[in-house]
Each structure stands twice: as C-alpha cells, then as structure tokens.
Amino acid sequence: MILLYKKDLDSTLADREGFLKKLPETKENHVLLATCNRVELYTGDGPAPEDVARHLFRVASGLDSALLGENAILGQLKDSYFNALNQGMVSKGLNILFQKAIAVGKKVRAETKISHGAMSHSLAVLEILLRKNLNLGEMKFLILGASNINKDVIRYLTRKGGRTIFVANRTFEKALLLSREMNCEAIRFDSFYDLLNEVDVVISATAAPHFVIRKELYQVEGKQILFDLAVPRDIDPEISSFGNIELYNIEDIERQIDNNLKARSKEINIAEKIIEEECSKYFERFRNISASLA
C-alpha cells in the first residue's frame, strides 16, 4: 500500500522543516514533493488508497493549490517524480500512481479552462495586449522602472515577439543591468519624455512617491497604451481623458485578475468530474492486475 505523509498548505517554514525531520527514514520506494506551499511524502508499493490517489490527482490538476489552476505545481510534481526515478526510489506502484497523476493534470488543463487567464500583474499586461490582436514585434515599448514586475513584463513581451524595448530607471546602472540581462535598450530616466512620441506602449512600475508622467508634460500625438502598475500611481489619471490614450491602472489590472479567477472557479466541477473518472480508471487497472494473477 502507498502511504502519504503531508503538511498543510498554511504551515510555516519552521513547521515544514520540523515535519521533514520527523518523516520516516525511507531509503527506497518514495517520492518527496516539497514546494514553498507543501511537503508531501509518498511511500510504499501497490495501489494507493482512494483518498491518497484523489489527493494527488487534485494536486496535479492545480485544484489544491493556493492559486487555483496554477501550472507550476505540475512541473514540480514531474521534477519530484523523475528525481526519485533517477535515484531508483520509485516502486512499481508509485510509478503507476505518479504517471497517472501527471496524465490527469494534463487532461484537466486540456479539457477545462482551470489554468486560463493571467494571475499576475505582469501576465495581465500581456493578456490585455494580446486580446487587442496587436503585432508585438512591430511595436515599441517603454518600461519605466527596473522593478521585478517590469522584469517579468519584459520577459513575457520578448517571448511573444516584442523586440524594441526601452527601459529607464532613476539609477541608470540598474537600467543597464536589466537591459543586458533582458536584451533591451537602456535610456536615462531624465530623457524618457523625449521618447514618448516614438513608442506605442508605456509600462510604469517605479517606487516614486509622485506622478512620474504628468499631464502638463505629456504631449503624445498618436495612439498610445499606458499601464500604471505602481502604488502610489506613476501616471496622472487625468491623462486617460485624452482621446488617443488607453490608460490601465493597478485597479484595472487587479479587476482583470479577479475576473480570471472567477472564470477558473467555474471550471472546478468539470475538473473534479474528470478526476473522479480517472480515479475509477486507476483502481480498475489494479483490479484487472489482481484478476489476472488469480
């Protein structure tokens, strides 16, 4: 029988470390799934109890994650399984269980929208742009601030074909470092106004205590999309009154993320039905094996 030892998602780091020390010293037939949100040890051979199999299938599908439908957990589960497999730690029963869990995780994501929609500010920016059917490779982007969120924005833009990206930061050296890492062009912060008329999209996420883009200094003739991801705001909201401008602030972005989460929640019942069907197939396999040996 396969056994499961696990620590709840809401446990502290110290709790999880203490839990790891108390786990049985299993030298074979085990898979350890340890992430920032969970610690789970699967050990033994043969079929898993129904609650253990269902739990692992839910984990693989993103239903038991802090962020509903997250994709990262499936990759982490695969890594844990293959690490144990490469070390010769996986019994036949664990092999069947984890291969099935990985297949279930893929099936749930393929047949539902449980993982659809941006769940981060940076991905929400990309989602808005892609919904406009824009050719990112033909557009010019100005990034204000060398923050982590802007780093993610640049990464996602380049993955989708964005090529002309300028980055400005009050500390020019930080802009240079980011530009070298992300293959974009650094400019000095005090000159970004000179570039505004040349770019199609501006994404701002600085730590400034005041407006970085002020209405009285903003003079853009063509159409432009602005994203203000800063708290407090970087961009004067009155700029949104200009007819050629689309301005999205942090509240707009978070509203979109909330709508995406609600849409994911509507997929839970469908995902759970798939999991129950796959649980039945999993146990049917073991019943067939037992029958063939009888």
Identify the structural domains of the chain with CATH numbers, from first to last: 2-115+264-293 (3.30.460), 121-250 (3.40.50.720)
Handedness of CA 202, 183, 146, 37 (dihedral sign): positive
Q: Tell me the mean pLDDT in the region 1-7.
A: 84
Say if CB 43 and CB 24 are below 8 A apart. Answer: yes
Residue in 167, 203, 165, 170 with CA at minimum distance from that of residue 186: 167
pLDDT digits (tens, 9 = 90+) for 221-236: 899 999 999 999 999 9
- Active-site pick, 36, 72, 207, 231: 36
Considering the entire predicted model, what is its pTM? 0.83
Q: Which residues pair with 165 in a beta bridge?
A: 141
- In the chain the beta strands, taken as DSSP E runs, fall at 2-7, 30-34, 39-44, 140-144, 164-169, 185-188, 201-204, 224-228, 245-248
Residue 36 designated active-site: yes
Element (H, E) at 172: helix 172-182
Please identify which residue in the block is written with the tokens 């500010």.
121
Say if CB 30 and CB 94 are below 8 A apart. Answer: yes
pLDDT digits (tens, 9 = 90+) for 102-134: 999 999 999 999 999 999 999 999 999 999 999
CA 185/CA 176 separation, integer angstroms: 8
